[in-house]
Amino acid sequence: MADNTALTDNTGTGTAGERVPTVIADGVDIVYRVNGAAGGRGSATAALNRIVRRKKTEKAAGVRTVHAVKNVSFVAYKGEAIGLIGTNGSGKSTLLKAVAGLLPVENGRIYTDGQPSLLGVNAALMGDLTGERNVYLGGLAMGMTREQIRERYQEIVDFSGINEKGDFISLPMRTYSSGMGSRLRFSIAAAKDHDVLLIDEALATGDAKFRQRSAERIRAMREHAGTVFLVSHSNGSIRETCERVLWLERGELRMDGPTEEVLKEYEAFTEPKKKRPAAAKS
């Protein structure tokens, strides 16, 4: 599990010229366990019991393991915006959840300075509540006071852009498109400065204007807070937002470096092979 252990003197500065670490991943392995035929249906209690007793029961229960993240190490620093890229199933979202403290690690350790906040496109807001009520719900969940939310409410709504074509903020969120919901979630999260903000695909759902506003807001958050991680399949969003990229492939950290260098290698890796011309008929 991620350790919320202070890595600095809590002033956020450090000595002159020193880079201040905010997240350290040291040899991290993350393993999923899936019931086989003998496992039956799962539940939260059953899952906890399996973790506690797994070394004695896994073989008998027919548990299958999936090694989602393999020996990943990196250090993230205050003020950085770091992109996480990789093909589907490469472990990007899994790693973010572990940094946020939502998934246990099998081996290795994750250390964080401050409280990581995970923003995903499936972040839990209430579909039957209006957008307005969800602004308050999301703000309170991030630790904001009601007064702080009231002060920033209109800024959140304007930033999301969901009211540009009608009074959607007063409608239940279940009536929103997926893009509208994702924009509102990001706008709520962006209303607060975070020690470590973890964003999973949220910027891929908006139009060009919203992505530009989001990139500008992330730059502002980096100046006032700690570190931003962005998982995205959009290389454009990564280029607009991040100066450093971690490339995960099949759970392994394949490359860690400046954005353009890593994306150049990644795009060469993912570019479909050119089809050979069909043989001429005789």
Give the 3-state secondary structure of residue 194: coil
Q: Is 106 exposed, middle or buried (0-12, 13-18, 19+ CB in 10 A)?
A: middle
For the stretch 18-76, pLDDT in tens is 788 999 999 999 998 777 544 444 555 665 565 566 555 555 556 778 899 999 999 99
Q: Which of 253, 233, 230 is nearest to 243 (CA)?
A: 230
Q: What is the pLDDT of residue 186?
A: 85
Phi-psi region of 263 (alpha: psi -120 to 50; beta: other; left: phi over 0): alpha
Give the 3-state secondary structure of residue 25: strand
* Number of Cβ within a 10 Å radius of residue 167: 9
Lowest mean pLDDT among 94-98, 135-139, 276-280: 276-280
For the stretch 252-279, pLDDT in tens is 999 999 999 999 999 999 987 444 455 5
Compute the residue count for the chain: 282
- Backbone phi, then psi, for 130, in 5-degree steps? -70, 165
Lowest mean pLDDT among 174-178, 202-206, 236-240, 245-249: 202-206
To the nearest whole number, what is the mean pLDDT of the chain?
Answer: 81
Query: Edge-to-edge strands of the sheet including 64-77?
Result: 64-77, 21-34, 107-112
Structure tokens at 32: 């999923």
* Number of Cβ within a 10 Å radius of residue 11: 7
Q: Which of 219, 223, 227 is nearest to 198 (CA)?
A: 227
Q: What is the pLDDT of residue 282?
A: 43
Highest mean predicted confidence (pLDDT) among 10-19, 42-51, 145-154: 145-154
Question: What is the rounded average pLDDT of the residues 155-168?
Answer: 89
Residue 68 contacts residue 91 (beta carbons within 8 Å):
yes
* Number of Cβ within a 10 Å radius of residue 179: 16
Strand partners, 72: 28
Who wins on pLDDT, 14 or 31? 31
Structure tokens at 186: 């990001």
pLDDT above 50: residue 91: yes
